[in-house]
Amino acid sequence: LRNRLVSDRPGRSRITLADVANYAGVSASTASRALNGRGELSPATRAAVLEAAAALRFRPSVLARSLRTRTTFTVGFVVPDIASPFYAVCLKGAQGALEEAGYRVMLMDSEQTPEGEVAALQTLLAHQVDGLLVATTGLSTSTFAAVVDRATPCVFFDSIVPEAGAGSVTLANGDGIDQLVDHLVAHGHLRIAILAGPQSETSGSERLAAFAAATRRRGLEQDPGLVRSCRWDQDDGRRATLELLELARPPEAVVASSAELALGCLAACRERGVSLPDELALVSFDDPYFGGLLEPSLTAVGYDPGDVGRAAAALLVEAMQETGTGTRQLTIPVTLVRRRSCGCPAGVS
């Protein structure tokens, strides 16, 4: 095992396994085995290779390895809008869990459109990602199937494609809305409006459906004018609230389907001089981290979006490792945080 000089590498950009092997005086395959701890080989050779690799500061080419092994240890992450705190925190949770399992994440933003989402999935598949984590904007089962082959496991979170993927993680949308409506009823409200999100997304439609069911069950007023479906953005919430306030008979209370929509509602009320919670009660699905510092402080059902990301990542890792496990559905629970926007006195929570 003589260390050959590491000469004749003119401008060659990268140190390769061959260089290491050469330096250690062994063949490339032996070097590979030593580095990966596969196969039996003499402690001496192993040590020599390891030393060579260290001396040369060898960094294996992930590309070459992936091409050969047909696995990239990369997962694709697709969300409608990464600037949204919810998705950003999901991403952080997922990234942490994936990193721990040895996976890297490639991020794509679908810009809230199905076309963007399809493009994102195609790009990711062209990169041969080992798995997919997606919060869909509402792809159909058939569209999804046409784009993503069965071989690449996919876990949906927040918003799902029916009968597709290796699993899904969603929030307890129904339970959360129930708690919100119940709480408003406890405050004596009978005429409650909802700021609903996009109906193409699971969390939009499930929350609206739960609202309809809950208000019916409670015998509350059923006025179609009280249901406003819009996108998740703050300004959409603002506009929808403005419309509600202009109704001949405005609502007594509003359920916002997300923190952004609640903020929009707050903004609209401030604009119109409507005082919360006296003239209008407000509760929200999503408890933003500054919820307690708003005026009035926000009553909401909360949860940790990081849990959603972590759970989805865990499911995906499982699906990527064990082949052909049945699809699993997880639900992340939510809990009510009572503050002042609903009409509760200060200092309750």
Partner DNA sequence: TTGTAAGCGTTATCAC
Partner DNA sequence: GTGATAACGCTTACAA
Q: Which residues bind a copy of itself (CB under 8 A)?
A: 13, 59-64, 66-67, 70, 72, 74, 77, 81-85, 88-89, 91-92, 95-96, 99, 104-109, 122-123, 125-128, 151, 234, 263, 266-267, 270, 288-290, 292-296, 306
What is the rounded CA–CA span in Å between residue 270 and residue 299?
Answer: 17
Q: What contacts 263, CB < 8 A, 6 or more positions away?
A: 234, 237, 288, 294
Q: Which stretch binds DNA (CB under 7 A): 65-73, 93-101, 200-208, 262-270?
A: 65-73
The verdict on 16 binding DNA (CB under 7 A) reads yes
Among 3, 4, 9, 27, binds DNA (CB under 7 A): 27
User: Looking at the chain, how many residues does it have?
Assistant: 349
Least CB distance from residue 59 to DNA, whole Å? 7
Which partner in a copy of itself, DNA, none is near 55 (CB below 5 to 8 A by kind)? Answer: none
Contact 301, 333 (CB under 8 A): no
Q: Tell me, residue by residue from 70 to 109, as one string, x for binding to DNA by CB under 7 A and - for no binding.
A: x---------------------------------------
Q: Which stretch binds DNA (CB under 7 A): 59-67, 108-116, 134-142, 218-226?
A: 59-67
Query: Which DSSP helix (H) or strand (E) runs through 139?
Result: none
Least CB distance from residue 151 to DNA, whole Å? 12
The verdict on 321 binding DNA (CB under 7 A) reads no
Contact 340, 296 (CB under 8 A): yes
DSSP readout, 44-97?
A: HHHHHHHHHHHHHT----HHHHHHHHS---EEEEEES-TTSHHHHHHHHHHHHH
Neighbours of 61 (CB within 10 A): 12
Query: Within a 13 Å sphere around the CA of 142, how many CA atoms are in the beta-carbon half?
Result: 0
Among 2, 5, 8, 38, binds DNA (CB under 7 A): 38
Contact 209, 215 (CB under 8 A): no
Binding site for DNA (CB under 7 A): 12-14, 16-18, 25-30, 32-33, 35-36, 38-42, 44-46, 58-61, 63-65, 67-70
